[in-house]
Structure 1
Amino acid sequence: MIEVDEIDVSYGNIQVLWDLSFHISEEDSVVAIVGPNGAGKSTLLRVMSGLHPVDDGRVTAWGEDVAGMDPSEVVRQGFVHVSEERNLFGDMTVRENLEMGAYTKRAELRETMREVFELFPILEERQEQRAGSMSGGQQQMLAIGRGLMARPKILALDEPSEGLAPQITTRVFEKIEEISDEVTVLLVEQHVHKALGLAERAYLLENGEMVTEDTGAALLESEHIKQAYL
């Protein structure tokens, strides 16, 4: 579905991704990208979303070059990116935020809303509450739910456990596992143990380069992973 082929990416004169390649196929349920802060994980998602250009190389989504697409067209193709910042509309209600997520799939809004409420019952209970007044965990669930409203083929989640208490993190990962039964999840996460435990296939990104690719289980047993991240 998505091919990232030997891309170099910079911010001004500072290069952050180097000759980076990886792919996501229709058979994948969860693909994880792990690595330290500053490795380039969020930049990679921005490139895949059409929000940041490449200096060299190519990103294709369903056979089309992402460089030639508007970010909204990337969403229509089926790639939805839930950023680390969540970017909720704080003064709008939960329901209004979810409706905004369905701007490319208005005809299916009612059905998708029902599915999101089944996955996250708290959102149905709080649907008239302002998003900005919710707890961190509830806001994360709303951000994921809003992403699902676009009915993605690939849901990219950038640090979904960021700032959450351990108990809430566990609940969020349980929901991600449920989502992966229906939608391919690209999981970018510093919570290495949980991410690799969930992933069928995983990549280690360090200093802007893909260092290792393997199954999540195999990377969990890697001495490098154990020493550096666990």
Structure 2
Amino acid sequence: MITVEDISVHYGDLQVLWDLSLEIRENDSVVAIVGPNGAGKTTLLKSMSGVLRPTSGSIELFGRDATTLSPSKIVEEGFVHVSEKRNLFNDLTVYENLKMGAYTERDQFRATFEEVIDMFPVLDERRDQKAGTLSGGEQQMLAIGRGLMAHPDILALDEPSGALAPQLAERVFAKIEEISENTTVILIEQHVDRALDLSDRAYLFENGRIATEGSGADLLESDHVKESYLSG
């Protein structure tokens, strides 16, 4: 579904990704992208979603050259990126935020809305509440739910457990596992053990390059991953 081939990405004069290649395949459930802060994980998602343009290399999305597509067209093609910043419309209600997420799927809004609130019942309870007044966990569920309203084939989640208490983080991970039954999930997550445990494939980023790749189980058993990211 996605083929990234030899992309390099810069922020001005600063190079963040170096000749990076990877694949997201049709039968993938969860693909984890792990590594330290500043390794280029978020930059990759921004490049896939059209927010950033690679300096060189190519990104093919569902058989199309994604580097020629606008971010809105990439959403229409079936790729949705839920940013770590959530980017909710804080002065709009939960319902209005979900409706905004369905702008490419207006004719399916009611059915998709029912699916989302079935997955996140708290969003139905809070439907008339402004997004900015929700708790951190509720805001994260709303951000993911809004992403699902576009009916994506691939849902890219950037740090979905960020700043959440452990119990809430576990609820989010459980929802990600549920989502992955029908939608391919690309998961960037600082909880490396949980991300690798959920994933069927994984990439470890270091210094803008892929340091290693394999199944989630393989990376969990890697001495380098254990020593650098799972100790303590």
Range into which the TM-score falls when normalised by the shorter chain: over 0.9
Q: Deviation of residue 190 (structure 1)?
A: 1.1
Q: Which residue of 1 aligns with 2:101?
A: 101
State the TM-score, normalized to the length of structure 1.
0.99
* Partner secondary structure for residue 194 of structure 1: helix
Counterpart AA for 1:4: V
Whether 1:69 and 2:69 are equivalent positions in the alignment is yes
Q: Which residue of 2 aligns with 1:7?
A: 7
Counterparts of 1:83-162 in structure 2, within 5 Å, are 83-162=83-162
Distance 1:144 1:192 in 2: 20
Counterpart AA for 1:212: T
* Partner secondary structure for residue 100 of structure 2: helix
Runs of 4 or more, structure 1, over 6 Å off, are: none
State the TM-score, normalized to the length of structure 2.
0.99
Q: Which residue of 2 aligns with 1:199?
A: 199
Counterpart AA for 2:2: I
Q: Which residue of 2 aligns with 1:29?
A: 29
Distance 1:2 1:9 in 2: 17
Counterpart AA for 1:42: T
Counterpart AA for 1:163: A
Two-structure CA RMSD over aligned residues (Å): 0.5
Q: How many residues align?
A: 230
Distance 1:210 1:6 in 2: 11
* Partner secondary structure for residue 129 of structure 1: coil
Q: Which runs of 5+ in 2 are unaligned?
A: none
Q: Which residue of 2 aligns with 1:20?
A: 20
Distance 1:21 1:32 in 2: 15
Counterpart AA for 1:56: S
Q: Which runs of 5+ in 1 are unaligned?
A: none
